[in-house]
């Protein structure tokens, strides 16, 4: 089986970008090891702190963030990083050409129940001639030069793209290397599966409520077919299922908290996942527009998400087109 770095070189990926990706996969191997040690490594449970999002940090959130932060800031090719766990960007002492944004441990509420979690990352080019500030990161998803995630499940898998095919690598624990196990991931255009947090149903806007109601009505409803619902409570797990076999994943606007009507962060969760989904043949929108075209207003901006099998995303967008935006 082919190893990660040779496959990138075969695609004529620049050595500087390969170096950044290599740094991420080194950190991911260490995170994977500590996760699989679990309580034996003393990394389970929560800290007494909250991150910039106001979320209680898990011990492994902090460990994963520190690993990625330390290794990336040592890379000569990285100029700055942005993380879910950091209040603002962190500048590297080096003058690299790349910016890296990441969620060090998506789905960390699953850690203590041995559920699926993962690391999501986005790599952007540093704008030429621009002073170092948060503004460097405020680029649309279509400007990404690479994106991916590492899923720490029964197997540790790296799913990534440098703008061409979406490839899937599996960590071979015997040799400590990511080996290519799927040359080209392709999302089926049609599906009978969807993922959404149903507990928020009473807070949804009209279009998503109408859409999900019709899915649940199955063969007897207007869609004329039965749908299955899946929910892993971790974007990385739910989107991996979509990339692996199709489906629709959505985390829509809701009215629970007027100050936080959206859940998922654009820069380091939604943009990289949107790039992967699109490169695998799917679509990614906020219900009204392509997610890859949204320019972040700040590094922690949140947005509504509808992504997955192309024809089903189009259908969901039809429901949205019949109602005014709730925001």
CB 121 within 8 A of CB 284: no
Pairing type for strands 98-106 and 78-83 reads parallel
61-to-37, 66, 266, 313 alpha-carbon distances in Å: 15, 9, 19, 32
* Residue 109, annotated as binding a ligand: yes
Other C-beta atoms within 10 Å of 279: how many? 22
* Residue 172, annotated as binding a ligand: no
* Residue 105, annotated as binding a ligand: yes
* Residue 186, annotated as binding a ligand: no
State the Cα–Cα distance between residues 280 and 160, nearest whole angstrom: 10
Query: What is the DSSP annotation of 122-156?
Result: EEEEPPTTPPSSGGGG---GGG-SEEEEEEESSSE
Other C-beta atoms within 10 Å of 136: how many? 20
CA 10 to chain centroid: 25
Closest by CA to 250, choosing from 221, 222, 227, is 227
Which tokens sit at 270?
């939604």
Tokens 């095919």, located at residue: 165
* Residue 84, annotated as binding a ligand: yes
Which tokens sit at 138?
């405020």
Tokens 């950044």, located at residue: 20
* Residue 133, annotated as binding a ligand: no
Please enumerate, by residue number, every residue annotated as part of a binding site: 84, 103, 105-109, 197, 263, 269
Residue ranges at the known binding site for substrate: 106-109, 197, 263
Residues annotated as binding site for Mg(2+)? Answer: 84, 103, 105-106, 269
């Amino acid at each position: 089986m082919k190893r990660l770095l040779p496959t990138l070189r075969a695609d004529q990926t620049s050595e500087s970008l390969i170096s950044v990706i290599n740094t991420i996969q080194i950190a991911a191997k260490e995170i994977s090891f500590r996760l699989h040690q679990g309580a034996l490594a003393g990394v389970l449970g929560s800290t007494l702190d909250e991150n910039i999002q106001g979320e209680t940090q898990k011990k492994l959130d902090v460990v994963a963030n520190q690993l990625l932060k330390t290794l990336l800031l040592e890379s000569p090719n990285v100029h700055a990083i942005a993380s879910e766990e950091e209040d603002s960007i962190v500048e590297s002492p080096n003058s690299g050409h790349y910016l890296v944004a990441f969620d060090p441990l998506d789905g960390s509420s699953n850690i203590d129940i041995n559920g699926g979690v993962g690391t999501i990352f986005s790599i952007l080019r540093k704008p030429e001639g621009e002073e170092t500030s948060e503004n460097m990161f405020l680029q649309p998803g279509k400007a990404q030069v690479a994106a991916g995630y590492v899923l720490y499940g029964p197997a540790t898998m790296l799913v990534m793209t440098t703008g061409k095919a979406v490839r899937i690598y599996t960590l071979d624990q015997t040799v400590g290397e990511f080996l290519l196990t799927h040359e080209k991931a392709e999302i089926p255009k049609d599906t009978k599966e969807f993922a959404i947090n149903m507990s928020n149903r009473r807070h949804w806007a009209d279009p998503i409520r109408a859409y999900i109601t019709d899915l649940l009505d199955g063969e007897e409803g207007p869609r004329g077919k039965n749908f299955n619902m899946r929910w892993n409570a971790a974007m990385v797990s739910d989107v991996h299922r979509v990339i692996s076999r199709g489906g629709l994943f959505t985390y829509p606007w809701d009215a629970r908290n007027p100050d936080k009507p959206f859940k998922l962060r654009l820069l380091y969760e939604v943009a990289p996942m949107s790039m992967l989904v699109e490169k695998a043949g799917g679509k990614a929108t906020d219900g009204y527009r392509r997610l890859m075209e949204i320019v972040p207003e700040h590094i922690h901006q949140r947005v509504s998400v509808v992504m997955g099998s192309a024809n089903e995303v189009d259908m969901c967008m039809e429901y949205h087109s019949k109602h005014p935006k709730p925001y």
